[in-house]
Amino acid sequence: MVIDLHTHSSESDGTDSPAELVKAAALAGLDAVAITDHDTAAGWAEAAAALPPGLRLVRGAELSCACPDGRGRTITVHLLAYLYDPTHAALMVEQSRLRSERRERLQKMAEMMQADGFPIDPVELMERLPFDAPAGRPHLAQALIRAGVVSSVDEAFATYLTGGRYYVGRTDTPVERAIEMIAEAGGVTVLAHPFARSRGPIVTADVVRDLAAAGLGGVEVDHPDHDAATRTSLRSLAGELGLLVTGSSDYHGTNKTVRLGAETTSPEMLDALAARATGGKILVG
Ligand code: AMP
Ligand code: ZN
Ligand code: FE
Ligand code: FE
């Protein structure tokens, strides 16, 4: 069984439409795939309708959350949420707020770049996005590529989009509140790439202990941004805390180089995750 529990479609900052994503998953030999767009469930229906025969679909999302880092600061962490009821009222309101803020913030970043002479058009950038989209920096990276300013998404991040004068932050959901809302909506939460140092600041092991006490269901251990030593320590932390362990590619289509199924989750873990969820079921094509 090949199970990949973290992928993005064009409903957030991936490049495959939800239908293309599930087709690509079947072609890549996957048995189960989760669609986990940033702060939206907008791709679920299209992915479900296009599900190739035999492929299992886990409906989820990746929520941007504010979290104490265990060293006195607050940082952004990503919380994967699976098999929850997307019509839970408080969750819908919060996710909608976050999506609007994402769009305003991306437009501001583009406006500051345009004001400094970059040949990009903030209005065109925003018009290209799907309705109510959770806009992200990869969209701005693509605009910079189209304008010939950079030649890759990685170069755009390294040169202009990670901190620096054009960076605008967001007000993310407090992580314990997000865990609580997903639990209320019948879902299961998994902390995405918790120790991915290369992406920016990370939390301490004590923070993971606190989140487990607050209802966190699991941790994503096998992720492209975790090295072997990181995986070993995270796996033992998960064992200590009784957390589920997942593995996933974090596929973004051509916005990243990683392939579908490059990292995987065991069937036992997926079964345990599905057994805990009351907000939704795994769909079978
Ligand atoms: P944002 O949602 O605007 O905070 O942007 C974060 C998104 O950009 C995440 O989906 C990351 O996977 C992606 N990202 C972060 N760093 C890079 C990078 N160096 N290259 C490509 N994508 C990145
Ligand atoms: Zn992303
Ligand atoms: Fe993430
Ligand atoms: Fe992701």
- HEC secondary structure over 77-138: EEEEEECCCCCCHHHHHHHHHHHHHHHHHHHHHHHHHHHCCCCCCHHHHHHCCCCCCCCCHH
- Over range 191-197, report the average pLDDT: 97
Distances (CA, A) of 282 to 21, 39, 81, 189: 16, 20, 13, 15
Q: What is the pTM of this model?
A: 0.95
What pLDDT does residue 96 have?
Answer: 96
* Domain that residue 128 falls in: 106-161
- Over range 266-284, report the average pLDDT: 98
Per-residue confidence band for 199, with pLDDT thresholds at 50, 70 and 90: confident
The beta strand positions in the chain, using DSSP E, are 3-4, 32-38, 56-68, 74-82, 173-174, 188-191, 218-222, 244-247, 283-284
Based on DSSP, count helices (H) and strands (E) in the chain, helices before strands.
10, 9
Task: Say how many Å lie between the CA of residue 206 and the centre of ligand 1.
Answer: 26
pLDDT, the chain, mean: 97
Residue 91 and residue 180 in one domain: yes
Q: 149 in helix, strand or coil?
A: coil
Tokens 């072609």, residue located: 27
- Over range 255-278, report the average pLDDT: 97
Q: At what angle do helices 205-213 and 228-241 cross, to 10 degrees?
A: 30
What pLDDT does residue 278 have?
Answer: 98
Q: Is the pLDDT of residue 21 over 90?
A: yes
- DSSP structure class, residue 8: -
- Taking the alpha carbons of 219, 222, 226, 230 in that order, is the dihedral positive or negative? positive
How much of the chain, in percent, has pLDDT values that exceed 90?
99
What pLDDT does residue 156 have?
Answer: 97
Which residues on neighbouring strands pair with residue 284, listed in sequence order? 56
What pLDDT does residue 268 have?
Answer: 98
Q: Is the pLDDT of residue 46 over 90?
A: yes
Task: Say how many Å lie between the CA of residue 7 and the centre of ligand 4.
Answer: 6
The CB of 157 under 6 Å from ligand 1? The reply is yes
Residue 34 and residue 118 in one domain: no
Residue 274 and residue 155 in one domain: no
In a domain, 269, yes or no: yes
Which CATH number do you get for residue 114? 1.10.150.650
Structure confidence by residue, pLDDT tens digits, 175-185: 999 999 999 99
In a domain, 30, yes or no: yes
The one-letter amino acid code at 285 reads G
- Tell me how many domains the chain contains: 2
- Over range 151-158, report the average pLDDT: 96
Residue 139 and residue 89 in one domain: no
Tokens of 161: 């989009």
Atom of ligand 1 nearest to the CA of 76: 4
